[in-house]
Structure 1
Amino acid sequence: MSTATPELAGNRLLRLWPAAAGIAFGAFIAYDLASGADLAPVLTASGLVYLGAAALKRPRAAWPVFWVAFVVIGAAGFTPWEDATTWVLLGFAAAFALYGLVRGATRPFEEFPLQSLAMVGFGAASVAVLLIGGAAAAYIVAAGLLAHAAWDLWHRRSGRVVVRSMTEFCLFLDVIAAVAMVVVAVNG
């Protein structure tokens, strides 16, 4: 017989919302996936969210940066410039990098400097996806998203840069999207 009160059980369930939201977003992304290039903006956004929070020196800023990236990615589908979404997000990343440098956010290394390096890696992978295309692009996206999932785990443990809810949300989103990308590549 459980001694937990309904309030405690409710609090435990409430703490699961980031995982549930990550699973829902991952499923949403996987639903209409056609190619590796489809997820290049998602891979770019994964680095952008962390870089933005680090440049602003506010872990809670990760969520507003995520929502801006989400709106950019979503709105791009209604424009003739959908293929430019990754470039737009890379522009935002460059603006955050410049802001972080001007603001002097160079210490500690695990925050802005490390996030900048990670953004270069995720951004380069996204550009490679756009240039290569095909099944190879799908595998690059999947590898990038799985690398970002490991990044999420490291940040969840360290408690740095972004709020824990973002790390948990991203972890599930990244893994589900990566698996979906591999399935699309294998069956495509």
Structure 2
Amino acid sequence: MVEMSSAQGGSQGRSPTGRVLMAVARRWPTWLGLAFMVFNVLGLEDGRDAALVVFLAALIYLATAVTGRPGVVWPLFGASVVAVTVLRLLGLEPWPGLVGGAVCVAVVGLAGGLSRRPTLDAAQVPAMLVFGTVSVAALTLSPAVGGYLVAAALIGHAALDVVLWRRNKVVARSMAEFCAALDLPLGVAIVVLTVSA
């Protein structure tokens, strides 16, 4: 009984400001996702520019499913951001390497039995196929049509994020929260920007 009251006193002993700050701190993935969304919106010429976000999300999720270790998603995310940044600084197009990488990861996953693993893990292969195809196809379309296609893919990926967050599967829950907070508002922002263009 003493332990229970001291545990309760820990959160009740905080000031209202302290409780608010703790609640905000617990949602760090949401705030980080929203910050990335703002960063992406500020750099958009048209919605097709966000195709890379959808492709990378699908690739990182697939690679994480292949490893079977949800926590590896954050190092993969960091590595992908660094790799794309370096390629762009060198004036190189990241798409050929990303598409080739996605094919290799999918082949390794299928050869390693990913299709026989739990449904949400196995679903990352068709998810990569759908989101990857949409991302690449959007680049070949007009700014309006391509933008709407990327927006739809972002919103669709946000729905996947919610499923993975609720079930706590495939990727770390913090990544699913981060990605949902990035994908959904970015998809909506692209729709708004495309309509008003």
Say what the alpha-carbon RMSD is for the aligned residues: 2.2
Give the fraction of aligned pairs with identical amino acids, expressed as a percent: 35
2:180 aligned residue: 171
Contact 1:44–1:86 (Cα < 8 Å) also in 2: no
Structure 1 runs (4+) greater than 6 angstroms displaced: none
Contact 2:88–2:94 (Cα < 8 Å) also in 1: no
1:5 aligned residue: 13
Gaps of 5+ in 2: 1-8
Structure 1 residues 91 and 112, CA gap change in structure 2 (3 angstroms): farther
Superposed CA offset, 1:125-179 (max 9, x none): 0111111131000000000000000000011111110011001000010012112
Give the counterpart of 1:89 among 98, 104, 107.
98
Amino acid at match of 1:160: K
Give the counterpart of 2:130 among 114, 118, 121.
121
Structure 1 residues 135 and 158, CA gap change in structure 2 (3 angstroms): same
How far apart are residue 105 of structure 1 and its match?
2.7
Q: 2:46 matched to 1:38?
A: no
Structure 1 residues 17 and 161, CA gap change in structure 2 (3 angstroms): same
Structure 1 residues 79 and 127, CA gap change in structure 2 (3 angstroms): same
Rounded to whole Å, the distance in 1 between the matches of 2:156 and 2:164 is 12
2:148 aligned residue: 139
How far apart are residue 76 of structure 1 and its match?
3.8
Where in structure 2 are the equivalents of 1:19-168 lying within 5 Å?
A: 19-81=30-92, 84-168=93-177
Rounded to whole Å, the distance in 2 between the matches of 1:107 and 1:117 is 14
Rounded to whole Å, the distance in 2 between the matches of 1:69 and 1:184 is 27
Rounded to whole Å, the distance in 2 between the matches of 1:17 and 1:24 is 10
Question: Rg bigger for which structure?
Answer: 2
Contact 1:34–1:184 (Cα < 8 Å) also in 2: no
Structure 1 residues 45 and 5, CA gap change in structure 2 (3 angstroms): farther
Rounded to whole Å, the distance in 2 between the matches of 1:146 and 1:24 is 17
Amino acid at match of 2:111: V
Greater CA drift, 100-109 or 139-148: 100-109
How far apart are residue 96 of structure 1 and its match?
1.7
1:186 aligned residue: 195
TM-score by length of 1: 0.88
Matched residue of 1:132: which SS? coil
Structure 1 residues 60 and 144, CA gap change in structure 2 (3 angstroms): same
Rounded to whole Å, the distance in 2 between the matches of 1:21 and 1:61 is 18
Contact 1:36–1:139 (Cα < 8 Å) also in 2: yes
